[in-house]
């Protein structure tokens, strides 16, 4: 079978699998940001401010909003499409670079645990990866203006896109395409003008920056992202990534940036800058970093290109030392695929999931569903009450627009739904604080143990004057 035919069939089957999983499994992948991005997209037509919300990411909201009208399954379909686009574009880039074994690209992308998991969430990383690699693909295939215009919208999908554009601008200078830099401002100009009619300011995007230089979440270990690379890309891919990371600058500099070397170096620099930016941010507690492994999925196509390059360097070295080794590299390919497959199956087996990215509802979502059912039964007019809560999933479970929730109180009745994570961490409210608050009376509590025996709790309080 020809490589292109195999790749086309494989990517098609992956797309069908992801869409099937979007309908079969009712998990959200993440009970925080995944839910919030979905809610911003779902209610964007009702609240136009959502289209310009810097945290929610304006381009993400714009593109995801039609899918979000279909419910959370719709947002998973949206991200499944983004992942499929990334597979196609990354493979085309590999072919443009004349990389041997380019057929490995979609397979390794599929077997990257975090990449697979995020395809079935409402998070922004799949769209960012799709826009980034599609823009680069167009650029490398000499569709320069279209590629640069597409890349110019990266900051409106994820904030890291801003410094990636600076790197691309330097690449254009190195390639003596200085005029192309102007096209990198397209997204900024379009959104500045659009936002001006909404906010009355051309600089609304910068005024709305939700991230502080000193993170409120603290800091973490220097090796956080390194030790999570198997979870992000797969264990075998980590080894190939290391080889690609080391050999690309050495070999391309030896070739004095001829042929495809400048493009390869651009991939390397983009990966390195993005990855180590997050390493530094988490280590020193900057830019509200939480040290989450999923962040790296935004550059997964770049990682896979480095992996395939690393695989090819093993082949070149082995051929030089041992001669013809075609059969050996068939076995090597099978070994790489097998290791990543076994690891991914293990990560998704049982109720463990991948670092919280289970395909099924998480324990906190299950217990919040119980609370939502209880509220709907006991307080059927709950949408007209003052509802206080911090857990994003409750908006989904109760079918409430979180933006309008504080202003829709048509009654003096006040309900406080406390959970043991978001209320405690973000609301800075403990259960004891509410129990000792004389203005509230406890209504009920639900608890549920997760896979490792830890209990998740959620409690409902009502204000005294409502009874």
pLDDT score of 354: 45
Distance from C-alpha of 377 to C-alpha of 411, rounded to nearest angstrom: 18
Query: For residue 404, what pLDDT is reported?
Result: 74
Residues of the chain with pLDDT under 70: 255-259, 320-327, 349-357, 405-412, 451, 464-467
What's the confidence (pLDDT) of residue 254? 74
Confidence at residue 279, expressed as pLDDT on a 0 to 100 scale:
94
pLDDT of the residue at 183: 97
State the chain's mean pLDDT as an integer: 88
Long-range contacts, 138-143 (Cβ 8 Å, 24+): 140/93, 140/96, 140/97, 140/263, 141/92, 141/96
The pTM of the full predicted model, rounded to 2 decimals, is: 0.92
pLDDT at residue 29, rounded to an integer = 84
Q: Which of 212, 211, 191, 210 is nearest to 202 (CA)?
A: 191
Q: Where are the domains of the chain?
A: 3-347, 363-466
Tell me what percent of the residues of the chain surpass a pLDDT of 70: 92
* Side-by-side strand order, sheet with 440-449: 386-389, 414-419, 455-463, 440-449
Helix (H, G, I), strand (E, B) or coil at 442: strand
**pLDDT at position 288, please?**
81
Distance, CA of 433 to CA of 382 (rounded, Å):
24
Q: What is the pLDDT of residue 368?
A: 93
Give the distance, in angstroms, between the CA of residue 12 and the centroid of all CA atoms in the same chain: 22
Question: Tokens in use for 337?
Answer: 């695929």
pLDDT tens, position by position, 252-270: 877 665 667 889 999 999 9
Residues 6+ apart with CB under 8 A from 215: 281, 285, 286, 287, 288, 289, 290
The secondary structure of 193-209 as a DSSP string is HHHHHHHS-TTHHHHT-
pLDDT of residue 467: 46
**Any alpha helices (H) in 323-450, and if so which ranges?**
326-347, 363-378, 393-397, 422-425, 431-435
For 161-203, how does the pLDDT look when each residue is reduced to its tens digit (9 = 90+)? 999 999 999 999 999 999 999 999 999 999 999 999 888 889 8
Among 274, 300, 340, 309, which residue's Cα sits nearest to residue 99?
309
C-alpha to C-alpha distance for 203 and 323, rounded to whole angstroms: 61
Instruction: Supply the pLDDT for residue 38.
Output: 96
Q: What is the pLDDT of residue 151?
A: 98
């Amino acid at each position: 079978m020809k490589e292109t035919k195999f790749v086309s069939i494989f990517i098609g089957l992956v797309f069908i699998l992801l869409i099937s999983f979007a309908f079969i499994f009712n998990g959200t992948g993440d009970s925080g940001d995944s839910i919030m991005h979905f809610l911003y997209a779902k209610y964007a037509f009702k609240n136009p401010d959502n289209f310009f919300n810097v945290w929610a990411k304006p381009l993400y909201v714009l593109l995801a909003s039609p899918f979000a009208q279909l419910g959370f399954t719709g947002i998973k379909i949206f991200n499944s499409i983004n992942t499929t686009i990334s597979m196609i574009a990354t493979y085309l880039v590999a072919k443009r670079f004349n990389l041997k074994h380019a057929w490995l690209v979609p397979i390794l992308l599929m077997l990257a645990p975090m990449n697979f998991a995020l395809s079935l969430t409402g998070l922004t990383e799949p769209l960012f990866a799709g826009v980034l690699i599609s823009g680069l693909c167009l650029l490398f295939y000499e569709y320069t203006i279209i590629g640069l215009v597409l890349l110019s919208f990266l900051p409106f999908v994820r904030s890291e896109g801003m410094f990636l554009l600076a790197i691309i601008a330097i690449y254009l200078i190195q390639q003596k395409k200085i005029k192309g830099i102007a096209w990198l401002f397209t997204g900024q100009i379009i959104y500045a003008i659009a936002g001006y009619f909404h906010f009355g300011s051309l600089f609304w995007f910068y005024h709305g920056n939700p991230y502080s230089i000193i993170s409120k979440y603290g800091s973490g270990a220097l090796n956080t992202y390194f030790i999570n690379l198997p979870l992000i890309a797969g264990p075998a891919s980590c080894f190939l990534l290391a080889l690609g990371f080391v050999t690309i600058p050495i070999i391309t500099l030896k070739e004095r940036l001829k042929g495809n070397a400048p493009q390869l170096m651009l991939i390397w620099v983009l990966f390195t800058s993005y990855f180590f930016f997050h390493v530094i941010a988490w280590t020193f507690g900057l830019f509200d970093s939480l040290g989450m492994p999923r962040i790296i999925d935004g550059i997964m196509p770049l990682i896979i290109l480095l992996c395939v390059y690393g695989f090819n360097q093993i082949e070149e070295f082995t051929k030089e030392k041992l001669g013809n080794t075609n059969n050996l590299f068939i076995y090597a390919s099978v070994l790489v695929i097998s290791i990543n497959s076994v690891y991914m199956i293990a990560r998704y087996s049982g109720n463990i999931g991948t670092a919280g990215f289970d395909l099924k509802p998480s324990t906190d979502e299950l217990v919040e569903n119980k609370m939502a059912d209880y509220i709907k039964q006991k307080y059927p007019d709950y949408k007209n009450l003052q509802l206080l809560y911090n857990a994003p999933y409750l908006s989904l479970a109760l079918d409430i627009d979180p933006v309008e929730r504080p202003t829709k109180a048509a009654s003096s009745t006040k309900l406080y739904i406390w959970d043991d994570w978001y209320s405690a961490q973000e609301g800075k409210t403990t259960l004891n604080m509410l129990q000792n608050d004389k203005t509230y009376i406890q209504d009920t509590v639900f608890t549920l143990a997760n896979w490792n025996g830890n209990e998740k709790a959620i409690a409902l309080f009502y204000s005294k004057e409502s009874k």
